């Protein structure tokens, strides 16, 4: 009964999708190396991923004109760095740059999607450079969904690149984003949906998330919501990962030092220590290492730390470093008798 064509059909159904993780980074200046930028801690993020999954293919899209040194980390952590242009910039250069200085980030989904077409893997997982993994991302909770899987920010999403719903989502998203570059009324509607107060700077404040929310609202059948547990928000039980979006990491007058997090949190430290050596830490943390070593590490599960974090604020955002120092404190000085 089972014909050759039916057999082929069965084989297609049984073939599991091949996953790949894609990162998207860009630099504004050439002053640092790619592995020691604490604001874009992509090598540390990949270290946590490698610690929980040694084999998943990892690609880093290094977008724009500025290139940085990656040292031995691509070989050691088994990832490829691929140079790419900002897709959105090719046709919309002037509009994109009149919007705001950091608006090239708006090109992220198109850049990832264009690159995804060139690789053999079909389950495309995008991960931010500040997403730190605690457990293997696989199996993904919504991997069986033929839709675009996302949450309310673009720090982590995944999709089957051959799914028509996911491609429909990407097309609508792209058209909304381009419209937002040219039309203030459209931006006002997007910000209204997101309840963002832009102080009359609609187009300058355009971002990926307002467009994302509009697409989610307009074509919900193409979207699948990733749970908080899988898209690790602070405070959820047993998360797969942690994405410190909205968390401020400030020390010595510098902001967004999210690269500190894997070194100061016990759970991440054990993971990065399993794939990186002491000389890697010296390369990555340089002048910060002495300070970081002097601070007591904290745990995700430490209630007192979580209380300290909820009380430490900077500009309304939870402030990580002051909570660590307040709770963990500096190690007592060793007194020589
Ligand atoms: Mn992020």
* CA distances, 89 to each of 4, 23, 27, 154, 216 (Å): 48, 19, 15, 19, 24
User: Between 3.40.50, 1.10.3470, 3.90.550, 3.10.310, what CATH number should domain 16-225 receive?
Assistant: 3.90.550
Tokens matching residue 189: 């509607």
How many angstroms does the Cα of residue 231 sit away from the middle of ligand 1?
11
Tokens matching residue 334: 């060793």
How many angstroms does the Cα of residue 320 sit away from the middle of ligand 1?
15
Q: How far apart are CA 53 and CA 35, in angstroms?
A: 20
How many angstroms does the Cα of residue 95 sit away from the middle of ligand 1?
24
How many angstroms does the Cα of residue 301 sit away from the middle of ligand 1?
22
How many angstroms does the Cα of residue 10 sit away from the middle of ligand 1?
40
Q: Where are the domains of the chain?
A: 16-225, 241-327
Strands 123-127 and 156-160: antiparallel
How many angstroms does the Cα of residue 155 sit away from the middle of ligand 1?
5
How many angstroms does the Cα of residue 209 sit away from the middle of ligand 1?
12
How many angstroms does the Cα of residue 3 sit away from the middle of ligand 1?
49
Whether residue 132 contacts residue 241, with contact meaning beta carbons closer than 8 Å, is answered with yes
Task: Establish whether the linkage from the previous residue to 271 is cis, with ω within 30° of 0.
Answer: no
Which residues pair with residue 81 across a beta bridge?
60
Q: How far apart are CA 180 and CA 201, in angstroms?
A: 12
How many angstroms does the Cα of residue 190 sit away from the middle of ligand 1?
21
Q: Nearest to residue 176, comparing CAs of 64, 115, 86, 88?
A: 88
Q: Nearest to residue 310, comparing CAs of 297, 326, 323?
A: 323
How many angstroms does the Cα of residue 130 sit away from the middle of ligand 1?
5
| Dihedral sign of CA atoms 268, 269, 274, 277 in order | positive
Which H, E and C letters describe 246-313, residue by residue? CCECCECCECCCHHHHHHHEHHHHHHHHHHCCHHHHHHHHHHHHHHHHHECCECCCCHHHHHHHHHCE
How many angstroms does the Cα of residue 34 sit away from the middle of ligand 1?
16
How many angstroms does the Cα of residue 168 sit away from the middle of ligand 1?
25
Helices (H), 142-202: 164-182, 184-194
78: left (phi over 0), alpha (psi -120 to 50) or beta: left
How many angstroms does the Cα of residue 328 sit away from the middle of ligand 1?
25
How many angstroms does the Cα of residue 7 sit away from the middle of ligand 1?
44
How many angstroms does the Cα of residue 110 sit away from the middle of ligand 1?
17
**The model's pTM:** 0.90
How many angstroms does the Cα of residue 67 sit away from the middle of ligand 1?
21
How many angstroms does the Cα of residue 131 sit away from the middle of ligand 1?
6
Q: What is the CA radius of gyration of the chain?
A: 21
Q: What's the pLDDT tens digit per position in 34-70?
A: 999 999 999 999 999 999 999 999 999 999 999 999 9
How many angstroms does the Cα of residue 153 sit away from the middle of ligand 1?
8
How many angstroms does the Cα of residue 299 sit away from the middle of ligand 1?
21
- Residue ranges, the chain, pLDDT below 50: 1-2, 331-337
How many angstroms does the Cα of residue 332 sit away from the middle of ligand 1?
34
H or E segment at 20? strand 19-26
How many angstroms does the Cα of residue 37 sit away from the middle of ligand 1?
14
Return the pLDDT at 233: 74
């Amino acid at each position: 009964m089972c014909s050759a064509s039916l057999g082929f059909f069965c084989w297609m159904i049984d073939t599991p999708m091949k996953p790949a993780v894609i990162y998207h980074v860009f630099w504004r200046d050439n002053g640092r190396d790619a592995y020691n930028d604490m604001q874009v801690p992509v090598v540390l993020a990949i270290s946590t991923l490698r610690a929980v999954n040694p084999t998943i293919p990892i690609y880093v899209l290094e977008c724009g004109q500025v290139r940085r040194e990656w040292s031995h980390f691509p070989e050691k952590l088994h990832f490829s760095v691929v140079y790419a242009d900002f897709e959105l910039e090719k046709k919309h250069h002037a509009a994109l740059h009149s919007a705001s200085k950091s608006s090239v980030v708006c090109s992220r989904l198109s850049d990832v999607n264009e690159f995804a077409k060139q690789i053999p893997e079909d389950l495309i997982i995008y991960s931010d450079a500040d997403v730190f993994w605690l457990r293997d991302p696989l199996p993904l909770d919504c991997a069986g969904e033929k839709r675009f899987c996302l949450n309310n920010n673009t720090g982590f999403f995944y999709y089957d690149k051959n799914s028509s719903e996911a491609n429909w989502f990407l097309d609508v998203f792209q058209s909304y984003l381009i419209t937002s570059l040219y039309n203030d009324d459209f931006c006002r509607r997007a910000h209204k949906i997101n309840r963002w107060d832009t102080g009359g700077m609609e187009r300058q404040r355009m971002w990926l998330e307002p467009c994302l929310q509009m697409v989610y609202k307009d074509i919900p059948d193409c979207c699948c919501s990733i749970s908080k547990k899988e898209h690790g928000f602070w405070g959820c039980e047993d998360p797969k990962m942690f994405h410190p979006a909205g968390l401020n990491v400030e020390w010595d007058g510098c902001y967004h030092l999210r690269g500190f997090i894997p070194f100061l949190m016990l759970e991440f430290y054990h993971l990065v220590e399993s794939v990186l050596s002491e000389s890697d830490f010296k390369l990555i943390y340089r002048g910060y290492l002495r300070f970081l070593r002097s601070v007591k590490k904290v745990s995700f599960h430490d209630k007192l730390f979580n209380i300290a974090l909820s009380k430490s604020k900077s500009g309304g955002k939870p402030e990580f470093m002051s909570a660590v120092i307040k709770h963990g404190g500096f190690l007592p000085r060793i007194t020589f008798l």
